[in-house]
Amino acid sequence: MIQIKDKTVTQHEIEHTLPSSLTLIKSSVFAGVFATIVLTVAIFPAEYNIDPTGIGAMLGLTQLANLDPAVTVNAPTNNTNTEFQQHSRKIIIPAGKGLEYKFNANKGDVIRYSWKSTSGDLFFDFHGEPEDDITGYFESYAVSTGSKLKGTFTAPFNGLHGWYWKNKSSSAITVVVKLAGNYDLVGIK
């Protein structure tokens, strides 16, 4: 007998209210099988264009893996000076050198971006510089070392935004940049 909140319960009653080991094993196996099915049928086709069953293609999921960010954005704008644009550029960053690639956007403009290096990691700083600022102030959005970055960016202020890449290797590295949204392209600075 066990006393639980003013009620006496027998060991037999407790054992019948808890799931058995067999029930727990069955539930775990079911969860594992279900997760494997979802991974195979939905996640692999949509994220990686891997479709061993063919169901992902029938459902149109493999198309999601192949979407180009430069053509999938139809972003609203708060700015009448910029229009929806799409750009894809290859930029060569010389060995041991750095350079910036910029676009001009107004506060609230939405830009979808991706960049990927073809042959190695780069130090990068994704940042913005407020319009008409003469102090040299800039705000970093992402600072790291890597070979790719993608996402959606909403400009927090009017001004120039973009990336500084530093190639610390002994060979030139090519970066493919894709932009889509409401902005004015400045390019290499």
- 98 with 15, same domain? no
In this structure, the answer to whether residues 19 and 48 fall within a common structural domain is yes
How far CA 45 is from CA of 33, 36, 42, 71, 121, in Å, comes to: 18, 13, 6, 20, 27
pLDDT of residue 80: 45
The one-letter code for the residue type at 140 is: S
Geometric angle at alpha carbon 82, from 80 and 130, rounded to 5°: 100
Q: Are residues 56 and 130 in the same domain?
A: no
User: How far out from the chain centre does Cα 52 lie?
Assistant: 25
Kindly report, residue by residue over 72-125, the tens digit of the pLDDT.
Answer: 443 444 444 457 888 999 999 999 999 999 999 999 999 999 999 988 899 999
Do residue 53 and residue 103 come from a single domain? no
**Alpha-carbon gap, residue 86 to 171, rounded angstroms:** 29
CATH at residue 155: 2.60.120.680
Please indicate, yes or no, whether residues 91 and 133 belong to a single structural domain of this protein.
yes
pLDDT given for residue 155 in this prediction: 95
Could you tell me which residue, 163 or 22, shows the higher pLDDT?
A: 163
User: Are 87 and 176 found together in one domain?
Assistant: yes
Query: What one-letter code names the amino acid at 137?
Result: Y
What are the residues whose beta carbons fall under 8 Å from the beta carbon of 99, sequence distance 6 or more? Answer: 91, 93, 164, 165, 188, 189
**Strand-pair category, 173-182 with 110-117:** antiparallel
Helix (H, G, I), strand (E, B) or coil at 188: strand
Place 6 in a pLDDT band, splitting at 50, 70 and 90.
low
* 52: containing domain: 2-65
| Domain end among 21, 39, 65 | 65
Domain count along the chain: 2
Using the 3D structure, point to which of 65, 83, 102 is the last residue of a domain.
65
